[in-house]
Structure 1
């Protein structure tokens, strides 16, 4: 599990053994069972997670008890209700495990302390933050204006390993379509190949 984390950071920047030890001191390794909640909507979220193995998701449940998936977090992804962690406010969404997963939990001070390890980490933090905002903006625009087929193709581009790992109903909940509509989209795309 630690090798996965070290490889992730080594791909982003040059990392010394001392720096990696400082990073791991800021994180708590945890095994999360399939279905286990990491963050509960309405409660103050204390942790976010870096996924070393498995897959987590963030989602909301509307008044009609329908799930709306906001994000998937497979290996090497970060996931958190940043507003809850940083501002000590109730979480806006749930985060749970879709598979048995190995994660590193981080708290509100993680990114500040990460920046103190070295100046290159400030740049990494800024890049991660930009990517998060960019991803959410693209997701919002896609949800509001793209066709279901375009949203599915974007899903495949964003999460290339998940199409075969996740149940169809989860992908449909992410796309905002019914499982039956997703089936039709997949069938039409396979015919056009």
Structure 2
């Protein structure tokens, strides 16, 4: 059960057997069915979850109830509301399973304990946050500098494994366009081929 996460961690830091065992002891294994909420708006996020199996999406709802999908996450990725988790304040996002999932999660107090007893993990989590921030910065840049067609092509090129696992209307919400508009974009692209 821990092989995947151990491989992920070992790409960034080297641990002793005792540090690995502490990490394993603090993780909680969970199976979650498709279309279940891990977090809802207004709740405090008390987990960071590593995905062993499945697909998850995080999103916001505006006042009209329209979704804006912030991210999709699949195997070997982490999911959480970083600011809600770090500050232990209510979240303004939803985190929901797209597929049946298997997760290894760590709660806030366990992460504090992990950092105290195995400080090397601070580097690991810092690197994860830096990567996450970089991805968000690139998404923001793309949203203001690229057309919907360019964003769609970039998404399909970068995440073909995700595009096959989530409905087109969710891809549209991730790209910041309506499902109808994405359908027109895709139709125009296929006409050009």
TM-score range, shorter chain: 0.7 to 0.9
Q: Evaluate the alpha carbon distance shift between residue 190 and residue 11 of structure 1 in structure 2; reply closer, same or farther with a 3 A threshold.
A: farther
Quote how far apart the aligned CAs of 1:76 are. 0.9
Instruction: Tell me whether 112-121 or 175-184 shows the greater mean CA deviation.
Output: 112-121
Quote how far apart the aligned CAs of 1:175 are. 0.6
Quote how far apart the aligned CAs of 1:187 are. 4.2
Quote how far apart the aligned CAs of 1:156 are. 2.6
Distance of 1:74 and 1:85 partners within structure 2: 20
Distance of 2:54 and 2:65 partners within structure 1: 26
TM-score when scaled to structure 1? 0.87
Runs of 4+, deviation exceeding 6 Å: none
Where do residues 32-181 of structure 1 align in structure 2 (5 Å cutoff)?
A: 32-116=32-116, 118=118, 120-181=120-181
Q: Evaluate the alpha carbon distance shift between residue 66 and residue 20 of structure 1 in structure 2; reply closer, same or farther with a 3 A threshold.
A: same
Distance of 2:109 and 2:146 partners within structure 1: 37
Q: Is residue 3 of structure 1 aligned with residue 3 of structure 2?
A: yes
Q: Evaluate the alpha carbon distance shift between residue 135 and residue 111 of structure 1 in structure 2; reply closer, same or farther with a 3 A threshold.
A: farther
Distance of 1:83 and 1:59 partners within structure 2: 14
Instruction: Tell me whether 160-169 or 136-145 shows the greater mean CA deviation.
Output: 136-145
RMSD: 2.2
- SS of 1:72's equivalent in the other structure is strand
What is the count of residue pairs matched by the alignment? 193
Distance of 1:150 and 1:18 partners within structure 2: 48
Instruction: Tell me whether 142-151 or 46-55 shows the greater mean CA deviation.
Output: 142-151
Q: Deviations over 1:120-153 (max 9, x none)?
A: 4333222112112111222222223321122113
TM-score when scaled to structure 2? 0.87
Structure 1 unpaired stretches of 5+: none
Q: Evaluate the alpha carbon distance shift between residue 149 and residue 124 of structure 1 in structure 2; reply closer, same or farther with a 3 A threshold.
A: same
